[in-house]
């Protein structure tokens, strides 16, 4: 004897022996794990019943579960691959940047161009006056002095001394290379050339005689 069958499942009612499927349950249909749904033969409402129906919804749920699991696994795999690719690319970029930074040295050279140096040659003091001569002048007590022009000179200074070999005193400054003095008696003369740089050395001393008073 078998116990009554639960109309909603193939499991026996609690406390009853295992139920068996109705005699008209299809033979192996390729889905041995499907659940039979319905009431025993002739036991359905309306007299028709739903004998031999399998729970397609259960199969759909299982298919959906496997599809979801497969999609999740595929998503994880794709995510891992993308992460590896991105990480590898960043590592390569960082390595390339590091290599470039290490191997590249920027050298900055500043060149300063100085203006050309202009040397301004200042005036130099004139050279020594040469060939100073002193002779009696045309008038009474006159002495006529003459000398060669000195290079660079702008004027000349005439010195007169009473005694030979002394420095004498400045008696005149002229812009020409001649001068007439009226000492009355003989005197000793020297001449210097002058410009903006200064006064040149004195000429060789010469004695200037007047008429009636030789040196």
Tell me the CATH number at 171. 2.60.40.10
List, run by run, the mean pLDDT of 10-residue segments along the chain (215 residues).
48 48 46 46 44 64 84 85 75 55 54 62 90 93 96 96 94 97 96 97 96 89
- Residue 145 forms part of a structural domain: yes
pLDDT value for 135: 94
Closest CA to 158 of 195, 188, 127, 198: 188
- Residue 178 forms part of a structural domain: yes
pTM value > 0.75: no
- Residue 147 forms part of a structural domain: yes
pLDDT value for 167: 86
pLDDT value for 37: 47
Q: Which domain holds residue 188?
A: 133-208
pLDDT value for 175: 97
pLDDT value for 138: 87
pLDDT value for 20: 47
- Residue 190 forms part of a structural domain: yes
- Residue 96 forms part of a structural domain: no
Tokens of 49: 């019943």
- Residue 179 forms part of a structural domain: yes
Number of domains in the chain: 1
- Residue 140 forms part of a structural domain: yes
- Residue 138 forms part of a structural domain: yes
């Amino acid at each position: 004897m078998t116990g009554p069958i639960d109309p909603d499942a193939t499991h026996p009612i609690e406390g009853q022996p295992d139920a068996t499927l109705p005699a008209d349950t299809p033979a192996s249909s390729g889905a041995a794990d499907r659940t039979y749904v319905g009431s025993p033969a002739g036991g359905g409402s309306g007299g028709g019943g739903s004998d031999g129906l399998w729970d397609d919804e259960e199969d759909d749920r299982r298919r959906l579960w496997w599809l979801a699991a497969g999609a999740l696994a595929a998503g994880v795999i794709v995510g891992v691959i993308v992460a590896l690719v991105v990480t590898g690319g960043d590592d390569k970029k960082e390595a390339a940047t590091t290599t470039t930074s290490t191997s590249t040295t920027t050298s900055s050279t500043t060149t300063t161009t100085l203006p050309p140096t202009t040397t301004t040659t200042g005036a130099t003091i004139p050279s020594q006056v040469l060939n100073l001569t002193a002779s009696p002048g045309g008038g009474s007590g006159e002495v006529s002095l003459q000398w060669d022009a000195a290079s660079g000179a702008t004027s000349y200074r005439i010195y007169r001394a009473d005694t030979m070999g002394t420095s004498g005193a400045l008696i005149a400054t002229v812009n020409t290379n001649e001068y007439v003095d009226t000492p009355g008696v003989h005197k000793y003369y020297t001449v210097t050339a002058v410009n903006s740089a200064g006064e040149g050395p004195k000429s060789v001393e010469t004695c200037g005689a007047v008429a009636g008073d030789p040196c």
